Structure 1
Amino acid sequence: MAEIEGQVDDGFGAVADAFRANFDERDELGAAFALYVDGDKKVDLWGGTANAQTGTPWTEDTLQLVFSTTKGIAATAIAMLVQSGTLRYDDPVSKHWPEFAAAGKDDITVEQVMSHQAGLIAVDAPIDFDQIMAVTPVIESLQEQAPMWEPGTAHGYHAITYGWLAGEIVARVDGRRIGQFVQDEIAGPLGIDLWIGLPESEEERVSRLETTPLPTDDPALLEHLGKLYARGANGYRALALDGRLSTAKGNHFNTRAVHATEMPGANGITTARSLAKFYAATAGTVDGVRLLDTDTMNAARTQRVSGDDLTLLTASRFGAGFWLHNEGAPMIQDGSYGHPGAGGSLGFANPELGIGYGYVMNRMGNNLTADPRCLALNDAVQASL
């Protein structure tokens, strides 16, 4: 039986029960969960195994790569630049990044990039893994290539490229790379463990990701995944960069190279405690820090697109970089904004409920969103509130 440690305030016992049940009933390996309510930490739990190969236990300080949950951090960096007045969502990207105007992209706006409407879901140039890790070849390819569809007419999840596009906008507007911006403007002021580009000094704290075999008793899921990851399909192109990034055996996301690079759409490394505090500070004041004022927060969570997603082959709903509450990615109720990550991680805020929520794990589920472990935690949080 997994050992569970941490803090649970009175009234939130149902959350601790759900967290425990994830280990007992839902094949959890190692995980952590945290919840802030009205600026105060109410739940901070961790448990299980950080490395199944060595048996290393998950501790209070274990770090986790959270895949697309990183996108909410990138969205907040962009929102902070909007708040400062140095950027507008309706700016053409080429206003700040002139080279981006090539191949008919001169009118693509920051809003369209942040809401997955730009038609740049993959990297067309034949660059290899090492070049992807170097980032600059990716940026050069994205600024040179043409969109896959007319920007603004449809949306398709930019699973990995979203982060590089947002990151380059941050760099062009602010002068700092997004990893440094996050340290200076978000992680540092909040005193949290959060990196896009992990220092080598922190590497030994990172939990090892484990994949889960595909379920043979769920034909609908198998059919959907088959279509999604078919070679040449938008999902394969976007989620795996045409096979150049993999979460299968030999998982690239367990490597030092991926941890060290800046991949702001997919390689954020953090803790549940830090993720929950971060989201709480986008919607309110935590320990004297507030990242987004009310107007900026509301602009960032305003729906920009919804409905059929050309990449995911299901419905999705986005604000300015944030995934919004919907059936595919439940975040308790409308008004919530945040982002799920591949395998199950989730971070979000709901200002009306006053919550900042963070869940991280190392056993990757096969569902794209709506992980059963998160659903159980969501229900417990709602019942406790």
Structure 2
Amino acid sequence: MGNPKVLSETGNYNLPEVRRLELPAANGTGEVRAIARAYGDAATGGGTLGLAPSTLDALARPAEPPSGGLRDVVLRVPTIFSLGYVKPFPRLRFGAAGDRAFGTPGAGGSFGFADPETGVGFAYAMNRAGFHLWDDPRELALREALYTTVLGERTQRPDKS
């Protein structure tokens, strides 16, 4: 995250020159409610976004495990992606038990995803960046309450075995 050098400080991501950069995996900008709405639309058919049913089906399909294992050599943690989105796996549970959800965690503790099984679009952004790649305790508490208390679904807590 040091090229260009201005990217080495997280506070610099709010600078206009950094916000103008096209860094698909690093500087997405949006209002949390709008992100949740977009994921919600993707979770319920994609009509507003204009997504084709075949696209939504592809996004909701379970990911094929990577041939070299789940360990991401860049992030140095286990993870699984499909079509550019993170998919649920035992160390990062999100969405309902069918594992059709797709989304992405963000730097500092943010997280957003679509869950086609429940029709939920979820987004969380924090006021102060944390140190978790995913499952920031602040975000996880909200996601856990939504899924276990409101929806009666599985725990969102990771399987650390």
Q: Which TM bucket (shorter chain)?
A: 0.7 to 0.9
Give 1:76-87 correspondences, 5 Å limit: none
**1:376 corresponds to 2:141:** yes
Q: Retained in 2: the 8 A contact 1:317–1:324?
A: yes
Q: Relative to structure 1, is the Cα distance of residues 315 and 280 closer, same or farther in structure 2, using a 3 angstrom cutoff?
A: same
**1:282 corresponds to 2:47:** no
Distance (whole Å) between structure 1 residues aligned to residue 36 and residue 19 of structure 2? 21
Q: How many residues align?
A: 143
Counterpart in 1 of 2:27? 267
Q: Relative to structure 1, is the Cα distance of residues 242 and 304 closer, same or farther in structure 2, using a 3 angstrom cutoff?
A: farther
Once the two structures are TM-superposed, the CA of residue 373 in structure 1 deviates from its matched residue by 1.2
Q: Tell me which of 112, 135, 156 is aligned to 1:347.
A: 112
* Structure 1 residue ranges without an equivalent (≥5): 1-239
Q: Could you report, residue by residue, the CA deviation over 1:136-171 in whole angstroms, capped at 9, with x for unpaired residues?
A: xxxxxxxxxxxxxxxxxxxxxxxxxxxxxxxxxxxx
Counterpart in 2 of 1:65? none
Once the two structures are TM-superposed, the CA of residue 330 in structure 1 deviates from its matched residue by 3.0
Distance (whole Å) between structure 1 residues aligned to residue 4 and residue 55 of structure 2? 37
Q: Could you report, residue by residue, the CA deviation over 1:97-119 in whole angstroms, capped at 9, with x for unpaired residues?
A: xxxxxxxxxxxxxxxxxxxxxxx
Give 1:152-301 correspondences, 5 Å limit: 240-241=1-2, 244=5, 245-247=7-9, 251-285=11-45, 289-301=48-60
**1:362 corresponds to 2:127:** yes
If you compute each CA radius of gyration, which structure gives the higher value, 1 or 2? 1
Q: Retained in 2: the 8 A contact 1:329–1:340?
A: no
Say which structure, 1 or 2, has more relative contact order (CA 8 Å, 6+ apart).
1
Distance (whole Å) between structure 1 residues aligned to residue 93 and residue 50 of structure 2? 24
Counterpart in 2 of 1:311? 74
**The 10-residue stretch of structure 1 (267-276 or 319-328) with the greater mean CA deviation from structure 2:** 319-328
Once the two structures are TM-superposed, the CA of residue 279 in structure 1 deviates from its matched residue by 0.7
Q: Relative to structure 1, is the Cα distance of residues 283 and 300 closer, same or farther in structure 2, using a 3 angstrom cutoff?
A: same
Distance (whole Å) between structure 1 residues aligned to residue 72 and residue 85 of structure 2? 15
Once the two structures are TM-superposed, the CA of residue 354 in structure 1 deviates from its matched residue by 1.0
Q: Retained in 2: the 8 A contact 1:272–1:358?
A: yes
Specify the SS of the correspondent of 1:269.
coil
TM-score (norm. length: structure 2):
0.78
Counterpart in 2 of 1:323? 86
* Structure 2 residue ranges without an equivalent (≥5): 152-161
Higher helix share: 1
Distance (whole Å) between structure 1 residues aligned to residue 52 and residue 59 of structure 2? 11
Q: Could you report, residue by residue, the CA deviation over 1:228-282 in whole angstroms, capped at 9, with x for unpaired residues?
A: xxxxxxxxxxxx146832135xx32121211122222211211111011101112
Specify the SS of the correspondent of 2:146.
helix
- Percentage identity across paired residues of the two chains: 35
